Amino acid sequence: MTLSQTLTPSIQKAIQDLFDVTVEKIEFQATRKEFEGDITMVIFPLLKIIKSNPVELGNKIGNYLVENVAEVSKFNVVSGFLNIVISDAHYLNFFNSIKDNAKYGFVTPSPEDKAVMVEYSSPNTNKPLHLGHVRNNLLGYSVAEIIKASGKKVYKTQIINDRGIHICKSMLAWQKFGKDQTPESTGLKGDKLVGNFYVAFDKAYKDEINQLMAEGKTEDEAKKQAPIILEAQDMLRKWEAGDEEVVALWKTMNQWVYDGFATTYKNLGVDFDSYYYESNTYLLGKDVVQIGLEKGIFEKDPDGSVWIDLTAEGLDRKIVLRSDGTAVYMTQDIGTAIQRVKDMPDVGGMVYTVGNEQDYHFKVLFLILKKLGFDWADNLYHLSYGMVDLPSGKMKSREGTVVDADDLMQDMQDTAQQISEELGKLDGYSEEEKARLYKIIGMGALKYYILKVDPKKRILFNPEESVDFAGNTGPFIQYTYARIQSIIRKADFDFSNDAKVDSLHEKEKELIKQLELFPEVIQNAAQNHSPALIANYTYDLVKEYNSFYQAVPILGEAELEIKKFRVQLSKRVADTIADAFSLLGINVPERM
């Protein structure tokens, strides 16, 4: 329970007893640094219902609280603000209640609550995962973990775009230029091998376009008439018709990609509970269109195409079925959402982790599902995020200039190694220990740098800046965790029982206040689908701990009970860092 939640009923009772007035809501804010106090009540809203001046009103409520509420030790009034000082006993009781509480702040899901399905990754099978996928995966995984910690059952899923002209391009290029290459024969991850042929197709396609244009064709004509694009379109028709040879090649090359993706996901530290494949879902939704027509939700045009008119809602008309009866992406997404609830009947909401270029698509999708009458449609959320840029500029997958996810992760580990060696922090480590630590630091730097930013904002990702051991970075927080572990290892006394201390140093109190916020931060992060709230809370906690570390002796403290308490407090901070970082998918090192 937060301090505001603890104080609210006491203040409501004070107002009732003093003024015979019932107040529904009490407004709080953080106490400004220049004033004494742990929390501030805003007096001004009460002046509308109680005839008084703000200072007099604040003093009356403050005196009542000091006399009647054990947690309140004193107060001061500044203009229309009542600054409340909370007793050390309150903080000590709170700390003792959580110091050994594993996963403090995490809520166990209730069996009767509806589950949330979180979709992320959802790649195409014609190329490896890239930097944009990294942000997508890290966001989706972290949001799933945060929602789970807030007290919901969560299913992690993705839909893999494994059909269409893009995969046929890679398949055709392999047939033409591949010389029977396989991941085994080349030593390449399967997704990289297939991605190479996607690039090879684009090169051959451009060459043919240039040749046709040299022969007098317009650019548009050349793009449509190039033999290699006509062959790819023919291959797609054969796949849709179930041609055995094409389907067999499609299965083989897709499996290469799936195996490659699995390695990347493992290294990235993300996982999934279920997979959906577009080759299985692209026909879903067509039956729903018929139901929508019968209900008058959809309308059929003279050419036979089916639309929904959303102009009254400030959107436009959207096609859901072409005149030839084929589905569009919207149809498929409608059908897939419905199928997921059929597969997992306890799902009561979904989160779609998809870039902000699809904002409009999801507005339309969610509105259609509401109009179709699905109760869970009120609990759909588009986790929209901005692009990730590098100092070197934009990425283009067709031209092979994409920042590969595997290469990025390796670069992060190499950068962590370089900076660690320059700082001379790893004396006495074995080579195996060093390699493990470089991975923990490098991946922590990557994940934290991306997740500390609000999802909606565009990111300029600077690898070297992210591995800085000072400032708002993953390695800085990891280093503080490792420092605390060193303190705990050096503590040559039993600190398992409650320490017998009666008062708190100001820095101890501030640290406990920060710990007290963690459950509320988890809930806010879940409601806002924002790992940034967890990341920046952890940074604030670490800054507060380092201020405490610099201000008071810990193992050097003469009095045993105080020393015991400070080690306990340090351990609780470390546990909270580890728990918070687990929600971001980041590991913490025991030594550093």
- Mean pLDDT to the nearest integer, 330-348: 96
Q: What is the pLDDT of residue 395?
A: 42
Q: What is the pLDDT of residue 403?
A: 83
557 pLDDT more than 50: yes
Q: What is the pLDDT of residue 422?
A: 83
DSSP annotation of 53 reads -
**Considering only CA atoms, which of 256, 283, 271, 227 is closest in space to residue 167?**
256
Q: What is the pLDDT of residue 312?
A: 95
- Mean pLDDT to the nearest integer, 529-537: 98
Average pLDDT of the chain, as a whole number: 94
Separation in Å, CA 550 to CA 197, 539, 542, 545: 57, 17, 12, 9
The residue assigned the tokens 């290294």 is 267
Q: What is the pLDDT of residue 392?
A: 66
Is residue 570 very low, low, confident or very high in pLDDT (cuts 50, 70, 90)? Answer: very high
107 pLDDT more than 90: yes
For residues 12 and 49, the answer to whether their CB atoms sit within 8 Å is no
Task: Give the range among 19-23, 344-348, 464-468 with minimum mean pLDDT.
Answer: 464-468
Compute the distance between CA of residue 465 and CA of residue 342 in angstroms, rounded to an integer.
46
Neighbours of 534 (CB within 10 A): 27
Q: What is the pLDDT of residue 179?
A: 93
Burial class (CB in 10 A: 0-12, 13-18, 19+), 365: buried
For residues 61 and 102, the answer to whether their CB atoms sit within 8 Å is no
Is residue 429 very low, low, confident or very high in pLDDT (cuts 50, 70, 90)? Answer: confident
pTM: 0.92
pLDDT digits 0-9 by tens, 272-287: 999 999 999 988 999 9
Determine what percent of the chain is predicted with pLDDT higher than 90.
88
Note the CATH number of domain 3-86. 3.30.1360.70
470 pLDDT more than 90: no
Angle, vertex CA 295, rays to CA 292 and CA 301, nearest 5:
60
DSSP annotation of 459 reads E
Architecture of domain 412-583: Orthogonal Bundle (1.10)
SS (H, E, C) 287-346: HHHHHHHHHCCCEECCCCCEEEECHHHCCCEEEEECCCCCECHHHHHHHHHHHHHHHCCC
Compute the distance between CA of residue 411 and CA of residue 134 in angstroms, rounded to an integer.
14
- Mean pLDDT to the nearest integer, 340-355: 97
Q: What is the pLDDT of residue 397?
A: 42
pLDDT digits 0-9 by tens, 485-498: 999 999 999 999 99
pLDDT digits 0-9 by tens, 38-60: 999 999 999 999 999 999 999 99
154 alpha-carbon distance from chain centroid: 14
For residues 225 and 133, the answer to whether their CB atoms sit within 8 Å is no
For residues 31 and 76, the answer to whether their CB atoms sit within 8 Å is no
Largest CA distance in the chain: 95
pLDDT digits 0-9 by tens, 221-243: 999 999 999 999 999 999 999 99
Taking the CA atoms of 365, 366, 372 and 377 in sequence, report the sign of the dihedral they define. positive
pLDDT digits 0-9 by tens, 169-216: 999 999 999 999 999 999 999 999 999 999 999 999 999 999 999 999
Task: Give the range among 6-10, 384-388, 401-405, 437-441 with minimum mean pLDDT.
Answer: 401-405
Q: What is the pLDDT of residue 2?
A: 78
Q: What is the pLDDT of residue 401?
A: 55
pLDDT digits 0-9 by tens, 59-73: 999 999 999 999 999
414 alpha-carbon distance from chain centroid: 25
User: 465 or 251: whose pLDDT is higher?
Assistant: 251
Taking the CA atoms of 161, 163, 165 and 171 in sequence, report the sign of the dihedral they define. positive
Strand order in the sheet with 347-355: 274-277, 154-160, 115-119, 347-355, 380-385
397 alpha-carbon distance from chain centroid: 24
Q: What is the pLDDT of residue 398?
A: 44
Domains in the chain: boundaries: 3-86, 164-275, 412-583
Reported as type and span, the H/E element at residue 210 is: helix 190-214
pLDDT digits 0-9 by tens, 392-414: 654 444 444 568 899 999 999 99
